[in-house]
Structure 1
Amino acid sequence: MARFFEFMGNHPFLFGLLTLLAILFFMIENRRSGKKIAASALGTLVNQQNAQIIDIRDAKKFAKGHIQGSRNVPFTTLRDRIDELRAIESPIVIVCDMGIQAGAAVQLLAKEEAYRLEGGISGWESAGMPLVGTEKDTANKKRKKNR
């Protein structure tokens, strides 16, 4: 660690350049992946601005569990349905497994009010938010019905 500080002192230009490049990298990466929305803010966006939730995971994953009110448009068919999605006047929130593929979908959509769910479905679940259509949800409904 002492050598790192020695390097900084002896080469301030190189260290400054490294810092600048790191900042630029994160700024460009953040823009490239689209605007993020937190799981806690999604409900507010849906309720106040009638945002549409588009789940780009494949149909099997969507059937296992998805956010209530979301539509399934698999990423593989997104290019074919891009005009349909651009025609939606309310904000659009793109959801994928971990929030990575949604960034590419937001870029492809090229719409001002398009967001990606931060952390995707994994982030949604880790925030304690419910999914509908899960096998666990179905089992709970059957159990309640049998009581």
Structure 2
Amino acid sequence: MNFFVFISQEWLLVSTLVVLIYIYAWRERIKSGRPISVHEVTQLLNKDSAVLLDVRDNAEFKAGHIVGAINIPFSKVAAELDKLESHKSKIIIVADKLGQHAGSVGRTLEKQGFVVRRLSGGIAEWQAQNLPLVKK
């Protein structure tokens, strides 16, 4: 009960706190690469202005991946950045299973000067849209 009394009396303070939390969350999301839809990804890949980096483990990658994707498992990205140097002029689209690792990989890549976007929803969203995967 005291909580609601505090909120009603200090509405300006509480509103400011909520706005600051929202701004912080929004900035953190953008820092790791702006999320883009599967349709935007296909357009960028078809124009050859982007490269897709799949950060899932090798077994998941072999089970099905997007055509032309480069596979560097999440745990090895920092050590294997040299594989991406030849693509520095293109947008790097980071894809993982559900979107849980793409943010931290995006931050790592942006610190190295890459332009990064994240596949919104990961490979799971790609499959949900009935888009094709290559199987090895």
Identify the TM-score tier after normalising by the shorter chain: 0.7 to 0.9
Counterpart-to-counterpart distance in 2, 1:105 and 1:56: 8
Contact residue 85 and residue 109 of structure 1 kept, 8 A:
no
Contact residue 37 and residue 115 of structure 1 kept, 8 A:
yes
Contact residue 86 and residue 109 of structure 1 kept, 8 A:
no
Which range moves more in the overlay, 56-65 or 30-39?
30-39
Counterpart-to-counterpart distance in 1, 2:117 and 2:72: 15
Question: Which of 112, 120, 123 is 1:121 aligned to?
Answer: 123
Corresponding residue number in structure 1 for 2:96:
96
Counterpart-to-counterpart distance in 1, 2:43 and 2:12: 46
Counterpart-to-counterpart distance in 1, 2:83 and 2:132: 28
Counterpart-to-counterpart distance in 2, 1:104 and 1:113: 14
Corresponding residue number in structure 2 for 1:82:
81
Corresponding residue number in structure 1 for 2:70:
71
TM-score between both structures, scaled by the size of structure 2: 0.82
Deviations 1:85-141 (CA, angstroms, capped at 9, x unpaired): 13412211111111120111111111342111111111111222121217xxxxxxx
Deviations 1:19-46 (CA, angstroms, capped at 9, x unpaired): 2223223223312332111111111111
Corresponding residue number in structure 2 for 1:109:
109
Change in Cα spacing, 1:31 to 1:50, as seen in structure 2 (3 Å) is closer
Deviations 1:32-88 (CA, angstroms, capped at 9, x unpaired): 332111111111111224311111111000011111111211122211221331341
RMSD over aligned CA atoms reads 2.3
Corresponding residue number in structure 2 for 1:26:
25
Which range moves more in the overlay, 17-26 or 41-50?
17-26
Contact residue 103 and residue 116 of structure 1 kept, 8 A:
yes
Q: Are 1:57 and 2:41 matched, yes or no?
A: no
Percent identity of the aligned residues?
31
**Alignment-mate amino acid for residue 124 of structure 2:** S
Which structure 2 segments of 5+ residues have no match?
none
Which has more helix, going by share of residues? 1
Counterpart-to-counterpart distance in 1, 2:6 and 2:130: 45
Count of residue correspondences? 132
Contact residue 95 and residue 120 of structure 1 kept, 8 A:
yes
3-state SS in 2 of match to 1:105: helix
